[in-house]
Amino acid sequence: MATINMGKPILDKNDRLAAENRAAFDAAGVFVLDLMASPGAGKTSTILATIAALRERYRIAVIEGDVASKVDAEKIKAHGIPAVQINTGGACHLEADVIARAVGQLDLDGLDLIIVENVGNLICPTEFYLGEHAKVMILSVPEGHDKPYKYPQIFQISEAVILNKIDTLPVFDFNEDEFRSVVSSLNPTAEVFALSATAGTGVAPWAAWLAGRIEDVRAAALSSGGLK
Amino acid sequence: MHEMGIAQGILDASVEAALEQGATGISAIHVSIGDLTAVAEFALQFAFEALQAGTMAEDAAFVVTTVPARSRCRECGHEYGHDSFQMSCPECGSLCLDLLQGRELQIDSIETVE
């Protein structure tokens, strides 16, 4: 009988693969966004609105994570944007190894932004680093302003929170002031962007924030000599 | 049930470490899980029991230590325990804090059979 002291992070293997992903993204100057939300919050429509706002300036690709089906990737491809569909076959979140395989189907040197649409879930994706530069979550008005009380972790690890479907505020009992106050107490530095992806309102400040982050990663890659 | 993936990670890393030491079995695995992680202990226990069958950790005890959240206030230096919601400093009310513990997902040690 012997005791082996490990002191080892449980997700060490995932984290190592994620760090390899991140190194490849940084070298190519590609900003990678991990977009998380519950099913139906408007991840795909937010991605489409983001593409519409930024496609003239940046080369964009999307990695779609779903338990099953290709419908989301087909929607993105219909707009002329490269999209890779991952079917997790029941798994409730994406991990770094599946991102590495999906990225293998994309031309990193020809991209500025990859949006990863995580599996619709407010819990499981929070613990898994994929190599992304930022995690951003979407909450939609119909889900209710009490969600940060129920799912605090995802609000804490997100650099920005998108409040989607604000065009439905008049018909839902959603207290935006309370929502913003709870989010800021959980995560004082998180930016909150209120928008309607389908109506197109409020998308500009979100797109501007994202563009700033894309420029940071491009500038870092240029200064390290990785980009031509 | 992302706990299944986490339990698999625990099992894989433990088996690898035990084999490196030339052990023939694992009798216990000790892990620390922070209170602020999105990991439910009962689900992790369930997942581990489902996965350990047929491995060298088949009979291993799975011991989870829950680590409460603690932070230090950047404004006044006060150290205090808290949960996910009441994180502000009880002394000065500041929300500028450095988390000292509470997000652990760590294998602390394993006990092996020679």
Q: pLDDT tens digits for A86-117?
A: 887 777 788 899 999 999 999 999 999 999 99
Please report the residues numbered 75 through 104 in chain B whose beta carbons come closer than 8 angstroms to any beta carbon of chain A.
84-85, 87-88, 95-96
Spatial strand order in the sheet of B79-82 = B79-82, B69-73, B97-101
Confidence of residue A128 (pLDDT cuts 50, 70, 90): confident
Q: Assess whether pLDDT exceeds 70 at residue A185.
A: yes
What pLDDT band is residue A122 in, cutting at 50, 70 and 90? confident
Nearest-angstrom CA–CA distance, A168 and A165 = 6
- Percentage of chain B surpassing pLDDT 70? 99
Give which of A93, A84, A87, A97 is closest to A67, Cα–Cα.
A87
Phi, psi angle pair for B69, to nearest 5°: -75, 135
What percent of chain A clears pLDDT 90, i.e. is strictly above it? 72
Helix (H) or strand (E) holding A228: none
Contact B88 A152 (CB under 8 A): no
In this predicted structure, what is the pLDDT of residue B114?
A: 81
pLDDT at A71: 85
Residue pairs between chains A and B whose CB atoms are closer than 8 Å: 101
Q: What percent of chain A has pLDDT over 70?
A: 98
Q: Answer whether residue B1 shows pLDDT above 70.
A: no
Q: Which of A6, A119, A122 is the mutation pick for testing B, counting most B CBs within 10 A?
A: A6
CA angle A200-A194-A33, nearest 5°? Answer: 85
Instruction: Write down the pLDDT at residue B96.
Output: 73
- Nearest CB among B9, B95, B113 relative to A188 is that of B95
Nearest CA in chain A to B7: A10
Is B6's Cβ below 8 Å from some Cβ in A? yes
- Which of A112, A81, A106, A93 minimizes the C-alpha distance to A217? A112
- How close is the nearest chain B Cα to the Cα of A220, in Å? 27
Confidence check: pLDDT of A226 > 70: no
- β-strands B69-73, B97-101: how paired? antiparallel
CB contact under 8 A, A3 and B21: no
0.85 surpassed by complex ipTM: no
B28 min Cα distance to partner chain A (Å): 9
What's the confidence (pLDDT) of residue B88? 80
* Cα Rg, chain A, nearest whole Å: 18
Continuous segment of H or E residues that includes residue B101: strand B97-101
Q: Which amino acid does the sequence have at B98?
A: D
Count of beta carbons in the 10 Å neighbourhood of residue B73 = 20
Instruction: Name which residue leads in pLDDT, A69 or B71.
Output: B71
